[in-house]
């Protein structure tokens, strides 16, 4: 999938230039494009869930 240059792409490019290999993330729909770029850039994403886990 190809995306035009965007804030999400720039964010991921900056993380890679800084040598970031893993980040923590709070899920949300507004971040879907960034998640796509993170996956393509092979950055590990650790999803943080707030609250009690459901059984």
Q: Nearest CA to 30 among 52, 2, 54, 11? A: 11
Domain ranges of the chain: 7-47
Q: pTM above 0.75?
A: no
E strand residue ranges, 1-55: 22-25, 44-47
Which pLDDT value is given to residue 14? 93
Q: Which two tokens stand for residue 6?
A: 């965007």
Give the C-alpha separation, 28 to 20, whole Å: 21
pLDDT of res. 22: 93
The one-digit pLDDT tens for each residue of the chain (55 residues) are 555 568 888 989 999 999 999 998 887 767 788 888 888 888 898 888 776 666 6
């Amino acid at each position: 999938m190809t995306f035009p240059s965007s804030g999400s792409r720039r964010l991921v490019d900056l993380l890679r230039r800084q040598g970031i290999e893993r980040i923590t993330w709070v899920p949300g729909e507004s971040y879907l494009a960034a998640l796509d770029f993170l996956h393509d850039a092979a950055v590990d994403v650790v999803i943080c869930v707030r609250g009690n886990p459901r059984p």
